Amino acid sequence: MAETKRDYYEVLGVDKNADAATIKKAYRALGKKYHPDANPGDKEAEAKFKELSEAYAVLSDPEKKQKYDQFGHAAFDGGAGGGFGGFDFSGMDFTDIFGDIFGDMFGGGRRSRRSYNGPMQGANVRKGIRITFEEAIFGCEKELDVVIKDPCTTCGGNGAKPGTSPETCPKCNGRGQVVYTTQSFFGTMQNVQTCPECNGSGKVIREKCSDCGGTGYVASKKKISVSIPAGIDNGQSIRIREKGEPGINGGPRGDLLVEVTVSRHPVFGRQDMHIFSTAPISFAQAALGGDVRIKTVDGDVLYTIAPGTKTDTKVRLRGKGVPSLRDKKIRGDHYVTLVIQTPEKLSSEAKELLRKFDEVTGNSLKQGEEAEKEKKNKKKGFMDKVKEAFED
């Protein structure tokens, strides 16, 4: 008795009303799980993958799906005029069916089906630039030395020696691609690759231009003006359109990506749109309160602190932080930690004033003397205390 095939919807684990995107998503997930390359030597996984591929090949094709929905498996065994003869895989192009899976797992996929001899954008070029903390906050203009390739004036950009022209590639006939056919347990499979003779351009140069070496471009160093926006952060990049590598076959240039490195500041730190710093205050300011001078990126500001301010007290200066990249009128805040400074050198007069201050605020300087006196009293005997009483 012939083995009964499972329902294709059941194989993919989707509802019969599932749309194309849902079917494709299910196939991607299960295909990765059971792909033979991910399960070497596992015959059961190989069989499941083949079953998945058969189900997807039918349900992803609107015409085949319609026949399957109407006649079931009979649509492909000749019972309903389908004429698929048990669903023979031979001759089918599996590049589309497996493209997404192969693209994710092995770096190939649908990109290989692109027309390589068509216009393609050039590669992006990356450069780095260092700016100060203040330049990052307020923005600035910089000049950057960049090597840029321009079309060769000798050959007009085609790379061929003057008086000659590029020829159609004989290996790919100008398509920029070559197709390799292989046999596997799925049947006949086709693998499309870039033509190794012309590197996908569809043209070969027999006699190269002496000035550009056949590339069609001549490199030269140029100065590019870079506008650094206010509020940019360390590690962010600025994109300058069409200042990268030249395009291929008439395609647009790539872009220049300028990565910004912001130098550290000796006073200020930054997190997102906020600035952080510490500010020293004297003991008198902390005790009595008053105005203290605080450094900000906009210059010094006076801030009034309350009497009795403790060290590590944090204050917030609104609108003194980093501007938003989207709207430089919007700024973050500046958070300041107040630290009470202890003087290291005092005059004799200042020391005497501090002693008098201590006497009226708790006599903390003589706490050690009082403790020592109390300790000695505890060690005295009865006769010592009687003697002291008579002496007084």
Same domain, 325 and 367: no
What is the rounded average pLDDT of the residues 13-25?
A: 90
Residue 82 has pLDDT above 60, yes or no: no
Q: At what angle do helices 43-59 and 20-34 cross, to 10 degrees?
A: 170
Same domain, 302 and 362: no
Q: Last residue of a domain, which of 90, 108, 126?
A: 108
Strands 274-281 and 334-340: parallel
> CA–CA separation, 66 vs 58, rounded Å?
9
DSSP state of 124: P
Same domain, 49 and 93: yes
> CA–CA separation, 89 vs 87, rounded Å?
6
**Residue 373 has what pLDDT?**
61
Cα dihedral 143, 149, 151, 155 in deg (nearest 10)? 140
Is there a contact between 133 and 296 (Cβ–Cβ < 8 Å)? Answer: no
Number of domains in the chain: 3
**CATH number of 28's domain:** 1.10.287.110
Residue 317 has pLDDT above 90, yes or no: yes
**Residue 190 has what pLDDT?**
72
> CA–CA separation, 5 vs 353, rounded Å?
101
Select the more confidently predicted residue: 267 or 64. Answer: 267
Same domain, 330 and 275: yes
Q: Which residues constitute the domain of residue 380? A: 356-391
**Residue 376 has what pLDDT?**
60
Neighbours of 146 (CB within 10 A): 18
Residue 90 lies in a domain: yes
Residue 95 has pLDDT above 60, yes or no: no
Q: Which residue has the tokens 């351009």?
A: 201
Cα 253 from chain centre? 23
- Which token pair is 355? 């002693």
Q: Last residue of a domain, which of 108, 130, 163?
A: 108
What is the rounded average pLDDT of the residues 146-153?
A: 91
Q: How confident is the model at residue 372 (pLDDT cuts 50, 70, 90)?
A: low
Is there a contact between 200 and 108 (Cβ–Cβ < 8 Å)? Answer: no
Span between the terminal Cα atoms of the chain, in Å: 127
Same domain, 14 and 99: yes
**Residue 324 has what pLDDT?**
94
Give helix then strand counts, H and E, for the chain.
Answer: 10, 15
**CATH number of 305's domain:** 2.60.260.20
Amino acid at 335: Y
Least confident stretch, 81-95, 210-224, 371-385 = 81-95
Residue 145 lies in a domain: no
**Residue 79 has what pLDDT?**
45
Same domain, 289 and 367: no
**Residue 374 has what pLDDT?**
60
Is there a contact between 105 and 37 (Cβ–Cβ < 8 Å)? Answer: yes
pLDDT tens per residue, range 245-297 = 988 777 889 999 999 999 999 999 999 999 999 999 999 999 999 999 999 99
Same domain, 297 and 377: no
Residue 209 lies in a domain: no
Same domain, 311 and 384: no
**Residue 93 has what pLDDT?**
43
Residue 289 lies in a domain: yes
- Quote helix, strand, coil % in the chain, to nearest 5: 30, 25, 45
**Residue 375 has what pLDDT?**
61
**Residue 366 has what pLDDT?**
74
Q: How confident is the model at residue 345 (pLDDT cuts 50, 70, 90)?
A: confident
Is there a contact between 322 and 270 (Cβ–Cβ < 8 Å)? Answer: yes
What is the rounded average pLDDT of the residues 147-157?
A: 90
Strands 167-168 and 203-204: antiparallel
Residue 390 has pLDDT above 90, yes or no: no
Least confident stretch, 3-7, 21-25, 130-134, 350-354 = 3-7
Residue 28 lies in a domain: yes
Residue 291 lies in a domain: yes
- CA-to-CA dists, residue 127 to 106, 245, 254, 256, angstroms: 30, 13, 13, 7
**Residue 3 has what pLDDT?**
55
Residue 70 has pLDDT above 50, yes or no: yes
**Residue 389 has what pLDDT?**
63
Residue 274 lies in a domain: yes
Residue 80 has pLDDT above 90, yes or no: no
Residue 89 has pLDDT above 50, yes or no: no
Same domain, 54 and 87: yes
Least confident stretch, 101-110, 188-197, 330-339, 357-366 = 101-110
Q: How confident is the model at residue 1 (pLDDT cuts 50, 70, 90)?
A: very low
What is residue 18's three-state secondary structure?
Answer: coil
What is the rounded average pLDDT of the residues 22-49?
A: 84
Same domain, 298 and 380: no
Residue 219 has pLDDT above 80, yes or no: yes
> CA–CA separation, 194 vs 175, rounded Å?
9
3-state DSSP of 205-229: CCCECCCCCCCCEEEEEEEEEEEEC
What is residue 352's three-state secondary structure?
Answer: helix
Average pLDDT for the chain: 82
Amino acid at 39: N
Q: Closest Cα to residue 194, out of 183, 214, 180?
A: 180
Residue 96 has pLDDT above 70, yes or no: no
Q: Last residue of a domain, which of 108, 128, 159?
A: 108
**Residue 161 has what pLDDT?**
92
**pTM above threshold 0.75:** no
Select the more confidently predicted residue: 363 or 269. Answer: 269
Same domain, 291 and 363: no
What is the rounded average pLDDT of the residues 184-191?
A: 66
